[in-house]
């Protein structure tokens, strides 16, 4: 395991692909006409195994009411502990910490703290571009654990990934001597470098009860990596109709005529295996290899989108995510905006690692840049690739 959230989910995605996706690869038309892939054929219904738990239901735990978003975040935190082979006590410490820091909500930060320089404020405010379920303004702190990019916890884009956030917490927890046996307060205090460690202990009954509730699902997820793709779920419930940036990276090619054909989307290039997120909530209609092969990079001589995820957002709006190195969703699955759906790769008709992102309205491609701009997302804005 790479030790990062992406690495963990990527390993699952790759295994899942090997098991299930390769046999349904379809021959496609030669040349650059990747737009003609018969998606209706690819979208044949398939059994959906475990659903992402993020869209779960609320519960009253140890006398505290938690809504579906908080329960989903809690499940992710518990899943990561189980997937790493840490005992349930690790999840107890993490949940008590997350409740104290954020009430177990993924908090973005607008950078309004007077402690920040203008430059630090601008970087901190990039957290707003990623799916979140609340706003905080404490220094440069973001996410469920209120981790700080200035303090070396990761880049804002990494920290806004709930799985990365949990991984980062556990990375530091396991470095605390005797973390399994010392009081929760001390362990959490060391990890968080907090002067107010005693506050964490207050939430220990909540954290213990939550762990008892969520651990069985986390364990079955960890025991069956093939099904864990959707179980380790960094997705966030954000308000219905919200849109988020689908991936970090630089826009390298826009929508419009290219090489004698229509480039029906926008290319966003980041490092290999950069996470790709659902731009908005919807139903997965395609998650498949659409080229002759997807187990390695493609080329201009290979037709098709490579590994493709297509989401149906209703009202005739569809988005496509192409050339993925792997994907983490299955057809039929419902995903919220900001859900991890795959990773940037170079499968199919592609010569370099990037995300080819399309927006289609009633079947016809439109330019994603103004579409997203109208929804508050500037693809050309600097972002932490």
Q: Is residue 139 a contact residue for Zn ion (CB under 5 A)?
A: no
Using alpha carbons, select from 250, 266, 234, 241 the residue that is nearest to residue 376.
241
Cα of first residue to Cα of last residue in the chain, in angstroms, is 22
Nearer to Zn ion, 265 or 342 (CB): 265
The 247-286 site mask, x for binding Zn ion (CB under 5 A), equals: ------------------x-x-------------------
Within 191-250, the residues that bind Zn ion by CB under 5 A are none
Using alpha carbons, select from 358, 331, 181, 345 the residue that is nearest to residue 253.
358
Which pair of structure tokens corresponds to residue 195? 């002067």
The residues, ordered by sequence, that sit 6+ positions from 118 with a Cβ below 8 Å of its Cβ are none
Nearer to Zn ion, 159 or 322 (CB): 322
Residue 354 Cβ, how far from Zn ion at the closest point, in Å?
7
Q: How far apart are CA 280 and CA 244, in angstroms?
A: 6
Nearer to Zn ion, 168 or 308 (CB): 308
Instruction: Please check whether residue 348 is in contact with residue 306, taking contact to mean a CB–CB distance below 8 angstroms.
Output: yes
Nearer to Zn ion, 19 or 258 (CB): 258
Residue 150 Cβ, how far from Zn ion at the closest point, in Å?
35
Residue 96 Cβ, how far from Zn ion at the closest point, in Å?
45
Within 349-378, the residues that bind Zn ion by CB under 5 A are 356
Query: Which residue's entry shows tokens 């997120």?
Result: 277
Q: How many residues bind to Zn ion according to rule CB under 5 A? A: 3
Residue 373 has a CB neighbour count (10 Å cut-off) of 14
Residue 181 Cβ, how far from Zn ion at the closest point, in Å?
53
Residue 303 Cβ, how far from Zn ion at the closest point, in Å?
14
Q: Phi/psi at 133 (nearest 5 deg)? A: -125, 30
Using alpha carbons, select from 114, 104, 96 the residue that is nearest to residue 192.
96
Binding-site ranges for Zn ion (CB under 5 A): 265, 267, 356
């Amino acid at each position: 395991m790479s030790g990062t959230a992406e690495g963990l989910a990527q390993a699952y995605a790759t295994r899942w692909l090997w098991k299930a996706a390769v046999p349904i690869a379809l021959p496609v038309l030669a040349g650059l006409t990747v737009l003609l892939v018969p998606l209706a054929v690819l979208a044949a219904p398939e059994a959906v195994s475990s659903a992402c738990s993020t869209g779960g239901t609320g519960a009253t735990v140890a006398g505290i009411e938690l809504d579906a978003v908080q329960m989903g975040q809690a499940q992710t935190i518990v899943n990561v502990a189980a997937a790493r082979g840490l005992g349930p006590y690790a999840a107890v410490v993490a949940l008590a910490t997350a409740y104290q820091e954020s009430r177990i909500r993924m908090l973005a930060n607008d950078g309004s703290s007077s402690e920040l320089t203008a430059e630090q404020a601008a970087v901190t405010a990039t957290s707003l571009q990623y799916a979140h379920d609340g706003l905080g303004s404490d220094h440069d702190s973001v996410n469920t654990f209120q981790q700080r990019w200035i303090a070396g916890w990761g880049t804002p884009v990494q920290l806004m990934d709930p799985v990365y956030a949990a991984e980062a917490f556990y990375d530091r927890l396991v470095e605390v001597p005797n973390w399994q046996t010392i009081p929760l307060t001390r362990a959490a205090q060391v990890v968080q470098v907090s002067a107010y460690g005693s506050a964490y202990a207050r939430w220990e009954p909540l954290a213990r009860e939550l762990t008892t509730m969520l651990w069985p699902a986390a364990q079955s997820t960890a025991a069956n990596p093939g099904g864990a793709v959707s179980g380790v779920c960094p997705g966030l419930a954000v308000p219905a109709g919200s849109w988020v940036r689908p991936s970090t990276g630089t826009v390298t090619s826009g929508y419009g005529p290219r090489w004698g054909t229509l480039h029906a989307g926008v290319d966003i290039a980041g490092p290999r295996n950069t996470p790709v997120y659902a731009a908005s909530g919807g139903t997965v209609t395609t998650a498949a290899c659409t080229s002759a092969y997807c187990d390695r990079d493609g080329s201009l001589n290979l037709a098709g989108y490579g590994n493709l995820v297509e989401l149906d957002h209703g009202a005739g709006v569809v988005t496509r995510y192409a050339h993925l190195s792997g994907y983490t969703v299955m057809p039929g699955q419902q995903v919220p905006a900001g859900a991890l759906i795959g990773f940037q790769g170079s499968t199919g008709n592609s010569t370099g690692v990037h995300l080819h992102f399309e927006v289609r309205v009633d079947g016809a491609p439109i330019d994603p840049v103004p579409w997203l701009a109208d929804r508050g997302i500037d693809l050309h804005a600097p972002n932490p690739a």
